[in-house]
Amino acid sequence: MSSSDRYRDAGVDIAKGNQFVERIKSMVRSTHTSAVLDDIGGFSGMVSLNTGRYSRPVLVSSTDGVGTKLKIAFMVGKHDTIGIDLVGMCVNDIVVCGARPLFMLDYLSMGVLDVDIAEQVVAGIVEGCRQAECSLIGGETAEMPGFYPPGEYDLAGFAVGVIDNDEIIDGSSVRVGNQLVGLASSGLHSNGYSLVRKIIFEELKLDVDSVVDDLPRPVGEEILTPTRVYAKPVLIIKRDLSLHGVAHITGGGLLENLPRVLPTSCRAIIQEGSWPIPPIFEFLQAAGKLSPNEMRRTFNHGIGLVMVVPEQQAQEVIERLEGMGEQAYIIGEIAPRAEGEPAVEFIGGKAA
């Protein structure tokens, strides 16, 4: 028996891995721009910064995973959207400073490589990259026998973008009177799934095919809805109007993420009821008996990204976003913050 046969018997099939790379090459190439200097299959990926667009280019990077939302993909048996989540969680974190996404790398690890499932996962990553207008230039597919339960895998991503040093959005220009424009989320995005799974599958004893009156789709389909990718709308608004601060609303919700782009002299006043709450959040709050404050700290609650803009441009920002297919709302404003005051306050609600 050859050494390659022994390796295959131990659970790692090199030939199958090579077959997988060949199957995904064409769709990965479809994300490449002229800045990509090599094809997939090499030891690394190369992207040129010699575009003439940036006088003082700054690279911006982020890495993330999808968390226990992966469990939902396993349960539903649907793997072609989880990659969009991966791209969204990485790219949305770099675009908030105004950076243009350049490229994405992924890491996919399985106990035994299932080429069909892996291809579906990569198809989702490719779709996410198309939405973000960045290139998927490589990744790692690992086969790790005995490390994962059958049918399960892990997924991580790494994104890099670029911005001119003089154009970085860091919140330092946020001023009293600025308006908060909230962009609607597509649902839960990729946060809070440990609690979601506990409520839905452990406490309510539902399964992924369960239909409940409060939700428009079966439970599994509803909570597998992919994360919205906000790269294009942020970059277009940045190009044409003024963006003083941008916050990606992930774990911690508005309460934890908005303060990250506010000067210490400013606080965000959020008007409850100024945007529609998707049914999944109301369902989880009622079913899990969660307090309003716990909902605000755990979930995006229907707002996936917040832009801080000048008051006189707020309505135009809304109109431009709606023209791009985004649902956007003026959800509050920036007010003075005295020492000891909360960074975020909900009008009519409980301060954080």
- 206-252 residue pLDDT tens: 999 999 998 999 999 999 999 999 999 999 999 999 999 999 999 99
User: What pLDDT does residue 11 have?
Assistant: 63
Region 194-204 average pLDDT: 96
Q: For residue 322, what pLDDT band results from cuts at 50, 70 and 90?
A: very high
Of the residues 141, 167, 193, the one at which a domain ends:
167
Identify the DSSP state of 311. G
Q: For residue 347, what pLDDT band results from cuts at 50, 70 and 90?
A: confident
Return the closest-CA partner of residue 245 out of 157, 329, 176: 176
Q: For residue 2, what pLDDT band results from cuts at 50, 70 and 90?
A: low
Q: Which own/partner contact pairs does 310-317 have at CB distance under 8 Å and 24+ positions apart?
A: 310/178, 310/179, 310/242, 310/244, 311/177, 311/178, 311/179, 313/241, 313/242, 314/179, 314/181, 316/241, 317/181, 317/237, 317/241
Instruction: State pTM to two decimals.
Output: 0.91
d(CA 22, CA 349): 55
Query: Which CATH number do you get for residue 97?
Result: 3.30.1330.10
Q: Looking at the structure, do residues 158 and 190 belong to the same domain, yes or no? A: no
Ordered strands of the 57-65 beta sheet: 57-65, 153-164, 100-110, 135-143
What distances in angstroms separate CA 115 from CA 63, 106, 122, 310, one per listed residue?
A: 25, 16, 10, 50
How buried is residue 8: exposed, middle or buried, by Cβ count under 10 Å (0-12/13-18/19+)? middle
Q: Looking at the structure, do residues 82 and 190 belong to the same domain, yes or no? A: no
- Residue 352 covered by a domain: no
Query: Which CATH number do you get for residue 184?
Result: 3.90.650.10
Q: Looking at the structure, do residues 233 and 262 belong to the same domain, yes or no? A: yes
| 159 pLDDT more than 90 | yes
Q: For residue 352, what pLDDT band results from cuts at 50, 70 and 90?
A: very low
Q: Looking at the structure, do residues 197 and 302 belong to the same domain, yes or no? A: yes
Q: For residue 17, what pLDDT band results from cuts at 50, 70 and 90?
A: low
| 4 pLDDT more than 70 | no
- Residue 44 covered by a domain: yes
Return the closest-CA partner of residue 141 out of 165, 164, 122: 122
What distances in angstroms separate CA 103 from CA 8, 65, 235, 297, 330, one per listed residue?
A: 33, 16, 16, 31, 32
When divided into structural domains, the chain yields a total of 2
Mean pLDDT of the chain: 91
Region 4-25 average pLDDT: 67
Q: Looking at the structure, do residues 196 and 80 belong to the same domain, yes or no? A: no
Q: Looking at the structure, do residues 36 and 118 belong to the same domain, yes or no? A: yes
| 187 pLDDT more than 80 | yes
Q: Looking at the structure, do residues 162 and 203 belong to the same domain, yes or no? A: no
Q: Looking at the structure, do residues 101 and 194 belong to the same domain, yes or no? A: no
Query: In sequence order, which ranges of 114-245 are alpha helices (DSSP H)?
Result: 115-132, 193-197, 219-223, 231-240
User: What pLDDT does residue 214 have?
Assistant: 86
User: What pLDDT does residue 255 have?
Assistant: 95
User: What pLDDT does residue 34 have?
Assistant: 77
Q: Looking at the structure, do residues 187 and 321 belong to the same domain, yes or no? A: yes
| 136 pLDDT more than 50 | yes
Spell 217-231 as b/e; 16+ CB within 10 A means b. ebbbbbbbbbbbbbb
- Residue 188 covered by a domain: yes
| 74 pLDDT more than 60 | yes
User: What pLDDT does residue 46 have?
Assistant: 80
Q: Looking at the structure, do residues 217 and 343 belong to the same domain, yes or no? A: yes
| 36 pLDDT more than 90 | no
User: What pLDDT does residue 216 have?
Assistant: 92
Structural domain for 318, as ranges: 179-347
Region 177-204 average pLDDT: 97
Residues facing 143 on adjacent strands: 110
Where would I find the beta strands (DSSP E) of the chain? 57-65, 100-110, 135-143, 153-164, 179-184, 245-248, 266-271, 303-309, 328-336, 344-347
Of the residues 167, 190, 214, the one at which a domain ends:
167
User: What pLDDT does residue 88 have?
Assistant: 97
Q: Are strands 266-271 and 328-336 parallel, antiparallel or unpaired?
A: antiparallel
Write out pLDDT tens, residues 56-65. 899 999 999 9
Write out pLDDT tens, residues 79-128. 999 999 999 999 999 999 999 999 999 999 999 999 999 999 999 999 99
Q: Looking at the structure, do residues 145 and 215 belong to the same domain, yes or no? A: no
Of the residues 167, 190, 216, the one at which a domain ends:
167
Question: 160 near 106, Cβ under 8 Å?
Answer: no
d(CA 290, CA 34): 49
- Residue 172 covered by a domain: no
- Residue 197 covered by a domain: yes
Q: What does 79-120 look like in DSSP terms, one character per residue? A: -SSHHHHHHHHHHHHHHTTTPEEEEEEEEEEESS--HHHHHH
Q: For residue 38, what pLDDT band results from cuts at 50, 70 and 90?
A: confident
| 304 pLDDT more than 70 | yes
Q: Looking at the structure, do residues 116 and 205 belong to the same domain, yes or no? A: no
